[in-house]
Amino acid sequence: MSESLEKRVEAALAEIKPQIQADGGDIDLVAIENNIVKVRLRGACVGCPMSALTLKAGVERAIKQKVPEIQSVEAVQ
């Protein structure tokens, strides 16, 4: 069997993390429930008006490319 869903999502996050960290932020995987990834944004991402765009256009797109069964990515507190 292939890698677990969580490992594949973590690998996708690892690829995009350096770009987020370069802007002073960070992102952590919190959970995967019903093919919805829940992440926590930290650092400069908290309260940043661009974080929603980063989440959808950057993070969600990167994860869906590597793990197509993921439906969406949501930020949690």
pLDDT above 80 (res 3): no
Q: 5-75 sits in which CATH class?
A: alpha beta
Q: How many CB atoms lie within 10 A of CB 40?
A: 15
pLDDT on residue 2: 53
pLDDT above 80 (res 14): yes
What residues form DSSP beta bridges with 29? 39
Mean pLDDT calculated for residue range 5-19: 95
What are the residue ranges spanned by the domains of the chain? 5-75
Residue type, 20: I
The better pLDDT of the pair 3, 66 is held by 66
pLDDT on residue 50: 83
What residues form DSSP beta bridges with 41? 27
pLDDT above 70 (res 42): yes
